[in-house]
Structure 1
């Protein structure tokens, strides 16, 4: 009912430790579920600043897996969802036991590596997974791109004379440590989708199921833009420069010392408005609408970037950031001042929107943190409860366990794909919209990509390949009344319309929610945006500008320590927005199954980046902030015991967090014995020790002593893409594309009934005839529409 969250009435048991599980259950609580957080003894992540955010709105009970197993099982017996992060589940809490105990339970496991044979048993720590898989390399990228490396491509710009000052990250060789836990964040999005999909399937079949994802699958999700293998990477417009570290990423320092980002770089704007002593918008040439010079994402355009970057850098340095922001808004140019996440949390516009929220806190009175990131018009769920101390609800939880229902016999049928029989119309542009719809295809939906007739360039790119798989393409002119009428006919038989165009454009095309609701009242309409609702709504936005606004570029670039902000290709901005939209659509379909009503769903790229940086919090006056991880200026890590070290050959990553870990390290590296864990010179001592031998040799020593550590992969992607076991298990999938040839990409991101890594992306208009014939048109009618230019057929 209106005014209650979509999951109101559902009970969730949270048996997780770490980032991914905590965020997953926070999102379920934000959607109205009653979450019982069970704080287990010895949680190695209890110190994380994000726990003060991620456990909001939850009841908290302190229980022990051994002494209180019967009570924990009793709580599971009465729950709808149980989320855990066991690498090996205790007896009685394994999937088979929980299914027998409660056949309607949706049981979600989040592990380090899932069923990947070569990696099972390795420490499930975000930084270590990033090191082992090459994610730390992809934080900056490699010259010629990872796609080029994986594809055996000869880089035509190998001799490009690039200024080191424009490169991503510090001026040193090797992988770089990021401040945002990208693998864990991605796993949280994926786990929430898996739970939402299983709950929707339960509405249809009556049974729960065991679903799962892993930090490894989170890596594959976060690298989906950058990690692809193509037989023909030279195909027209396919490869872009955005993941090459040599390419300037649009960061400039202004006269008042602030960093700003303008993306994609528009030289006509930066140079055109700064010709005089004041920033003045000329009559033409400085707006994306009339710029004479544009820089596309095509790989060879990197040469133009380097030509113009010094001039744009000099122009930026002449004026303060606020003046640049003002003129950029007037020109309609994507532009933001880069700021730390705490500054974003103090932004009154974000607070008014609700994507930042102020909640009671037992220690500080109140704190601000990320707020609501998915909106359902029929199921508003204001976030009002803060985080209570561990153990607050232990007695209550024991009472609930004592009243738990007796085990019930199996009921219902085996669950099928969560979206089997669901049709989605995807009008999305670029990545954020299309990626969300692709996730729906992965869950079994029939997704029709509604292309504009002139979408050729974008549909050929690597960005389209990772966000349009498993769809059918209909190319149609919606500005033609005949095309709009055809689209309305599709809407009558559709379940979901999904897009990320500016809403004003949708209204002008008459494909906004109000227009389409009159055609199909049960429609779920999902709109994803760049920013929050309010004054910024009219500003152009993208992954990069939203990341600047929300603070992830600041954190990853070690700007707290004097580093340069970065936008890494592993950024979950566009893709995070797509993941949030998939969560919203699944929740709305769950609600429709129960009520028969459709609704409007919305989310944004800025919401995704606020969630990505959700380890940050601050008091309302900004005087106290959370002790979030801060990366050093050279991007080695966040402390002497949680960082990357160069060895005589290769690199190592440590993640020593407990007293047991410390004792193991002292045994493995005798030089640190007798020193304190907080010694200022500890990094120097460890660095000197590791420099005496190779990373492989040290890795064996550290493993033998049980020290949480990994040898950093020697390159991004190869560890996973060259692993036949991952291909056999569908974690990396291959397909044949008519233009780029044999392709390999990320595959199965979630494990649930009917889930899949969907097939190849379509060619523009490839399925136009097929879809129109399904609508009931005759072949003659389709031929006439093609001849009139109302629709377009695909050609290889």
Structure 2
């Protein structure tokens, strides 16, 4: 049987990304089979290489970076990529980069405003070298930014996007999401843009500039909950662990933990009231249909939680999900979820691998995509800085002596 190809096999990517948003995009490209060449400054590389915790001879620790230590951030974000150390500020380094552009399909960057222009590696400077080039920019606020000079971080995007205002308890403060959602969402949109551009290039033969911003991507999700309309109707933006307009729909405390209940229709609400021993509630006009339940959500949720608190998590799940088919599951801890054998088996969560010592006691994200006629995955550990210099520069016909001269002069 012939070996199954990877869907993006044969696509070469020059990776000018740092931190999280950009590297996650190129991680996905690598997992789908693209050849990703991560270009880093010879003087230290991606800033994520200095993120604690580190893994080294003393195991995982939060101390200062020492010889042999590798940041877990890099072990997670640089898997299946090649590392080329290259000083783009030098004339020879820029020349090498442009020679690589001639042989590449994609450039992906998420550098701070003005950086690619100063370096001469922006789309306008490169499209003439390779008209088929697809160039993806992942920015914080877009270019030009409406907030000049702002150093954009995920928490700033959550704050400015309005998403933080929707998270937390009604009478509590705006709350940061537990995951860096802006950092993780923008690269997903970037991937959609890149793959659409690849398809279009197959028709027109021309590349293009794909642009996404963390702000645009995160903010675009707000209208899905119609916060503007609901707030005009008197509903608060923040509803804590409950979705008011779908009540009963949320997280409920049990005697030994919490359950998530999603009973958004009248049938399921009636079945909950039946399990509570109060079937007559479904005939009460305050609770009989979705609209009145939304208006009286605090009362509905309070009644249900008074019941769930008297039972164990397993007992609530048995009464609702097993016996009555009402969507109800345990709220797992992050550690419980990451240890789930099903997620390990599917490859959604995979062990991290240190380039020197092999598999370590830490996990990273896999590629949660399954394809019937292609394989995906991140089966190579993150490289050390410059580990692939000889291989990548060999694409340009550079020999060992010239590569050594580039190293001695600080270009690589």
Separation (CA, whole Å) in 1 of partners of 2:17 and 2:139 = 11
Q: Which of the residues 423, 428, 432 maps onto 2:21?
A: 432
Corresponding position of 1:450: 39
Helix, strand or coil: the match of 1:473? strand
Q: Give the TM-score normalised by structure 1.
A: 0.44
**1:545 equivalenced with 2:145 (yes/no):** no
Helix, strand or coil: the match of 1:527? strand
Contact 1:733–1:744 (Cα < 8 Å) also in 2:
yes
Cα 1:684/1:754, change in 2 over 3 Å: same
After superposition, where does 1:603-682 map in structure 2 within 5 Å?
A: 603-617=212-226, 630-632=237-239, 635-639=240-244, 640-671=247-278, 673-674=280-281, 675=284, 676-677=286-287, 678=293, 679=296, 681-682=299-300
Please report how far the alpha carbon of residue 623 of structure 1 lies from its aligned counterpart in structure 2 after TM superposition: 11
Q: Which of the residues 305, 308, 317 maps onto 1:687?
A: 305
After superposition, where does 1:212-251 map in structure 2 within 5 Å?
A: none
Corresponding position of 2:207: 598
Cα 1:705/1:744, change in 2 over 3 Å: same
Please report how far the alpha carbon of residue 446 of structure 1 lies from its aligned counterpart in structure 2 after TM superposition: 0.3
Helix, strand or coil: the match of 1:615? helix
Q: Deviations over 1:568-611 (max 9, x none)?
A: 23242011111111111111111111010111111101011112
Corresponding position of 2:323: 704
Separation (CA, whole Å) in 1 of partners of 2:113 and 2:143 = 11
Contact 1:577–1:603 (Cα < 8 Å) also in 2:
yes
Please report how far the alpha carbon of residue 625 of structure 1 lies from its aligned counterpart in structure 2 after TM superposition: 5.4
Cα 1:491/1:540, change in 2 over 3 Å: same
Contact 2:261–2:327 (Cα < 8 Å) also in 1:
yes
Cα 1:616/1:699, change in 2 over 3 Å: closer
Contact 1:747–1:758 (Cα < 8 Å) also in 2:
yes
After superposition, where does 1:732-747 map in structure 2 within 5 Å?
A: 732-738=349-355, 741-742=359-360, 743-747=362-366
**1:524 equivalenced with 2:131 (yes/no):** no
Q: Deviations over 1:109-144 (max 9, x none)?
A: xxxxxxxxxxxxxxxxxxxxxxxxxxxxxxxxxxxx
Point out 4+ residue stretches in structure 1 off by more than 6 angstroms: 626-629
RMSD, aligned α-carbons: 2.7
Separation (CA, whole Å) in 1 of partners of 2:266 and 2:243 = 18
Please report how far the alpha carbon of residue 540 of structure 1 lies from its aligned counterpart in structure 2 after TM superposition: 2.4
Corresponding position of 1:587: 196
Corresponding position of 1:352: none
Separation (CA, whole Å) in 1 of partners of 2:382 and 2:210 = 25
Please report how far the alpha carbon of residue 739 of structure 1 lies from its aligned counterpart in structure 2 after TM superposition: 6.3
Corresponding position of 1:495: 105
Cα 1:672/1:545, change in 2 over 3 Å: farther
Please report how far the alpha carbon of residue 684 of structure 1 lies from its aligned counterpart in structure 2 after TM superposition: 2.5
Contact 1:552–1:613 (Cα < 8 Å) also in 2:
yes
Separation (CA, whole Å) in 2 of partners of 1:517 and 1:765 = 26
Q: Deviations over 1:456-508 (max 9, x none)?
A: 65224444343322111111111111111111111110000110113421111
Corresponding position of 1:554: 165
Helix, strand or coil: the match of 1:697? helix
Q: Give the TM-score normalised by structure 2.
A: 0.82
Cα 1:762/1:614, change in 2 over 3 Å: farther
Separation (CA, whole Å) in 1 of partners of 2:200 and 2:327 = 44
Helix, strand or coil: the match of 2:259? strand
**1:572 equivalenced with 2:181 (yes/no):** yes
Corresponding position of 2:81: 471
After superposition, where does 1:751-762 map in structure 2 within 5 Å?
A: 751-752=370-371, 753-759=373-379, 760-762=381-383
After superposition, where does 1:344-493 map in structure 2 within 5 Å?
A: 416-453=5-42, 454-455=44-45, 458-459=48-49, 460-493=70-103
Helix, strand or coil: the match of 2:107? strand
Separation (CA, whole Å) in 2 of partners of 1:641 and 1:602 = 40
Helix, strand or coil: the match of 1:574? helix
Please report how far the alpha carbon of residue 564 of structure 1 lies from its aligned counterpart in structure 2 after TM superposition: 1.4
Separation (CA, whole Å) in 2 of partners of 1:531 and 1:434 = 18
Helix, strand or coil: the match of 1:570? coil
After superposition, where does 1:28-39 map in structure 2 within 5 Å?
A: none
Corresponding position of 2:60: none
Helix, strand or coil: the match of 1:580? helix
Separation (CA, whole Å) in 1 of partners of 2:327 and 2:270 = 12
Separation (CA, whole Å) in 2 of partners of 1:596 and 1:770 = 28
Structure 1 residues 664-673 or 548-557, which shifts more? Answer: 664-673
Corresponding position of 1:729: 346
Corresponding position of 2:172: 563
Corresponding position of 1:718: 336
Contact 1:672–1:682 (Cα < 8 Å) also in 2:
no
Corresponding position of 1:771: 392
Separation (CA, whole Å) in 1 of partners of 2:234 and 2:107 = 41
Contact 1:631–1:638 (Cα < 8 Å) also in 2:
no
Q: Deviations over 1:9-33 (max 9, x none)?
A: xxxxxxxxxxxxxxxxxxxxxxxxx
Helix, strand or coil: the match of 2:128? helix
Please report how far the alpha carbon of residue 636 of structure 1 lies from its aligned counterpart in structure 2 after TM superposition: 2.9
Please report how far the alpha carbon of residue 529 of structure 1 lies from its aligned counterpart in structure 2 after TM superposition: 1.1
Corresponding position of 1:112: none
Contact 2:227–2:237 (Cα < 8 Å) also in 1:
no
Cα 1:626/1:484, change in 2 over 3 Å: farther
> Mind listing any 5+ residue stretches in structure 2 that lack a counterpart?
50-69, 288-292
> Mind listing any 5+ residue stretches in structure 1 that lack a counterpart?
1-413, 792-796
Separation (CA, whole Å) in 2 of partners of 1:692 and 1:681 = 18
Separation (CA, whole Å) in 2 of partners of 1:623 and 1:734 = 43
